Amino acid sequence: MNASPPGPAAAAITFEHPLGERMRLFLRLEALLLRLHDLRQRGGRPLEATLTAQGFLELGELLARGDVRTELLKELERLEIALRRWDGHRDAHAPRLTSTLEEIGERRRRLFAVEGRFVDRLRASELLATLRQRAALPGGLNGAEIPAYRLWIALDDEERARDLDRWAEILAPLRDALATYLRLMRASSSPETCRAEDGNYERELTAQDPPIQIVRLTLPLARRLYPEISAGRYRLTVRFRDFPDAERRGAPCTTAVDFRLVLAAL
């Protein structure tokens, strides 16, 4: 389950639960890419550079588990076909639809133009390949055991930043295509207001085509609750639990909880 991090003044928090392994993979990739983006915004200092390199290693392992590029191209094509059915429909917002279709087309072209696998292009870096050999060991990324890493960390921040930007650029077509796909998926259904009596919520799900891809649940941050979501093709169950602090497991919530629910499908 994925939770979007709230800002300092956020009044609500949204939790996400993927249905299906493909969507689970997409959300994991998104989380890693967002983490890398946040780290890159902080510059190329040694700590940020090390954490960013670890992020690229995690991405490499995730990308090695399947042909993400092909799966994402298929999904973008499916969305494009679905949206084209609305072309000329009286309820469709023509300029927005045209802009969205152009965006999907551009993302597909850039992603299709990538030669080879993303994981192979990342592993072409000698330093990343060396770090990968030691990354699985606790504390394995250290200068005593990897002299090349010790030297890289000692270089100017600007030089490390250029390396990090070069690795990030390899992933840019994937990052942008994934961002477009997930944005459209999340906006595919309108939110509905629901109530969990005694902290529990259940509902039957009718079979639909396309099937639900993501369950999105938004509730006030001040409630300090998180949902335990179980969802399949025909049934959704949500149980809320208190979060007292990071040291203790909270008790099941026994009061009514009002929340917004989106069953994203496109």
Residues 51 and 67 in one domain: yes
Give a yes or no: residue 194 inside a domain: yes
| Residue 91, pLDDT score | 56
Coil vs helix vs strand at 216: strand
Residues 162 and 196 in one domain: no
Instruction: Say if residues 230 and 201 touch (Cβ distance below 8 Å).
Output: no
Percent of the chain with pLDDT over 90: 67
Task: Kindly give the interhelix angle for 94-112 and 68-84, rounded to the nearest 10 degrees.
Answer: 160
Q: What is the mean pLDDT of residues 49-76?
A: 91
Q: What is the mean pLDDT of residues 52-76?
A: 91
Of 185, 201, 225, the one marking the end of a domain is: 185
Q: How far apart are CA 241 and CA 228, in angstroms?
A: 7
Q: How far apart are CA 133 and CA 202, in angstroms?
A: 46
Query: What is the chain's mean pLDDT, rounded?
Result: 89
Domain containing 31 equals 21-185
| Residue 25, pLDDT score | 94
Q: How far apart are CA 10 and CA 221, in angstroms?
A: 7
Residues 179 and 194 in one domain: no
Task: Kindly give the interhelix angle for 147-154 and 126-135, rounded to the nearest 10 degrees.
Answer: 120
As for how many domains the chain has, the answer is 2
Q: Which residues contact 242 (CB under 8 A, 6 or more apart)?
A: 224, 225, 250, 251, 252, 253
Residues 169 and 239 in one domain: no
Give a yes or no: residue 6 inside a domain: no
Residues 156 and 196 in one domain: no
Residues 173 and 256 in one domain: no
- Higher-pLDDT residue of 121, 7: 121
Here the CATH number for the domain that contains residue 123 is: 1.10.3900.10
| Residue 9, pLDDT score | 43
Reported confidence tier of residue 208, pLDDT bands at 50, 70, 90: confident
Give a yes or no: residue 13 inside a domain: no
Residues 167 and 260 in one domain: no
pLDDT at 3 over 70: no
Residues 199 and 177 in one domain: no
Of 156, 185, 214, the one marking the end of a domain is: 185
Give a yes or no: residue 144 inside a domain: yes
Percent of the chain with pLDDT over 70: 92
| Residue 5, pLDDT score | 47
| Residue 8, pLDDT score | 46
Residues 105 and 225 in one domain: no
Measured torsion, CA atoms of residues 63, 64, 65, 68, in degrees rounded to the nearest 10: 40
Here the CATH number for the domain that contains residue 253 is: 2.60.440.10
pLDDT at 239 over 80: yes
